[in-house]
Structure 1
């Protein structure tokens, strides 16, 4: 829904319709018994025509983007863009501090949506301290939770000012949380696997997007925390981050749990994991092999017949009905 109401085309259509209606309504005051504003009527007619064309374009786009796979593609692009920009912003720096710690608590609850990094880093530099975030982006925090620890410093920052630079809301957002994009993809897949829907083909298509996302994440060095420095290369802002195992478990665990009885899902997940082994650096292989061994458990449980089990545990991106050239 967030992707829908932020769509620029939809806003343009609503603005055009509103402007056309307001212009046509104001034009009524210019109509008299013996005269009609020809130019105004012509412009109003043209505006109506443009509005109808935009409406048709919007409806066409809406019907296409309403499909789960189209939403998955859009979410994947957004998640990859956020992950890439976040990884590029990380700069390594050594942590310094005199051991004193000041804990800043959240005045209200909500999900951590974003940090105003461009303001937090200068604020830490102004007080010559380091802001260390205690929770992950996307975590839900109750009021009174320790949100930021202030390490060192020549003076104490204003707690309300610092915590005010952390955006808390009713739900997670993708803007600084690429893991939420992966969470959405997994949710689409497991909904497709629910008994009420029973659409494993859609889940398989979503797994393709998950695989693309994982290839990008696995090819990036994840230090476990993001350390941002000021212009003098002194650490000022430390944010805990997710490692490769976190992303991989998020992507695989629930789909394996709810799709373990589907031959399509087992074959597709196995193919995805084998593909990760083939392309990612050796440092990422242990986590992938663990997921492969865990995938074997539902296969052994659900497919007791040896012939069916052999088919289910065969990695295949074409799932069922295809054959790779030998």
Structure 2
């Protein structure tokens, strides 16, 4: 059983998918910082995160993992992320840092709508909660009704892209 545990100085992407997602989120929020102000780069990151969320969303993630010996006796219990944890990690900070960007709001809405279309109903409450928070951010950030209306439209490219059928 010693081959089941890896020790090292740092997490790796292979050991911890949440670490890979965290790196992507960090890139996106750096791109959204006032110093950089590059929402297009953030949208490109969101594209990769969308693929990740669809992949993770198709799996059963209990949030707790039990490793057992050959007889079935539990030997190690590990905490892990569930679907809601991955979704929140992917969306929350980008929404908070990019909530004033039409491009980011439209792209995030497209991601969430795509998840609702593709994933099982068990994942819908978390996606709907994130959709609600995104809607609140748009209401807060866009006082002008015309700009607010544009920011509320899903767009797979962020702005100016072809809408899904």
TM normalised by structure 1 equals: 0.48
Secondary structure at the aligned position of 2:117 is classed as helix
Given the superposition, is the C-alpha separation of residues 299 and 325 from structure 1 closer, same or farther in structure 2, using an over 3 Å criterion?
A: closer
Q: Work out which structure has the larger RCO, using CA pairs closer than 8 Å and 6 or more positions apart in sequence.
A: 2
After TM superposition, the structure 1 = structure 2 runs for residues 266-277 of structure 1, keeping only pairs within 5 Å, are 266-277=105-116
Aligned to 1:211: 50
Given the superposition, is the C-alpha separation of residues 287 and 325 from structure 1 closer, same or farther in structure 2, using an over 3 Å criterion?
A: closer
Secondary structure at the aligned position of 1:227 is classed as strand
After TM superposition, the structure 1 = structure 2 runs for residues 188-207 of structure 1, keeping only pairs within 5 Å, are 188-207=27-46
Deviation (angstroms), 1:321: 2.2
Aligned to 2:61: 222
Quick one: distance in 1 between partners of 2:70 and 2:164?
A: 55
Deviation (angstroms), 1:120: 7.4
After TM superposition, the structure 1 = structure 2 runs for residues 43-54 of structure 1, keeping only pairs within 5 Å, are none
Q: Does 1:119 align with 2:119?
A: no
Deviation (angstroms), 1:166: 6.2
Secondary structure at the aligned position of 2:81 is classed as coil
Structure whose alpha-carbon radius of gyration is higher: 1
Q: Does 1:302 align with 2:144?
A: no
TM normalised by structure 2 equals: 0.93
Number of aligned positions between the proteins? 165
Q: Does 1:243 align with 2:126?
A: no
- 1:188-228 Cα offsets, whole Å, 9 max, x none, are 11111111111100100100100100111111111121112
Secondary structure at the aligned position of 1:256 is classed as helix
Quick one: distance in 2 between partners of 1:235 and 1:282?
A: 31
Secondary structure at the aligned position of 1:167 is classed as coil
Cα contact 2:43–2:157 (8 A) shared by 1: no
- 1:207-253 Cα offsets, whole Å, 9 max, x none, are 01001001111111111211122222322221111111111110001
Quick one: distance in 1 between partners of 2:35 and 2:164?
A: 37
- 1:168-206 Cα offsets, whole Å, 9 max, x none, are 52x432231110000000001111111111110010010
Structure 1: 5+ residue runs without aligned partners?
Answer: 1-117, 122-164
Quick one: distance in 1 between partners of 2:114 and 2:83?
A: 16
Aligned to 2:102: 263
Structure 2: 5+ residue runs without aligned partners?
Answer: none
Q: Does 1:313 align with 2:152?
A: yes
Quick one: distance in 1 between partners of 2:161 and 2:8?
A: 48
Aligned to 1:234: 73
Quick one: distance in 1 between partners of 2:112 and 2:15?
A: 27
Secondary structure at the aligned position of 1:239 is classed as strand
Aligned to 1:280: 119
Given the superposition, is the C-alpha separation of residues 324 and 166 from structure 1 closer, same or farther in structure 2, using an over 3 Å criterion?
A: closer
Cα contact 1:120–1:237 (8 A) shared by 2: no
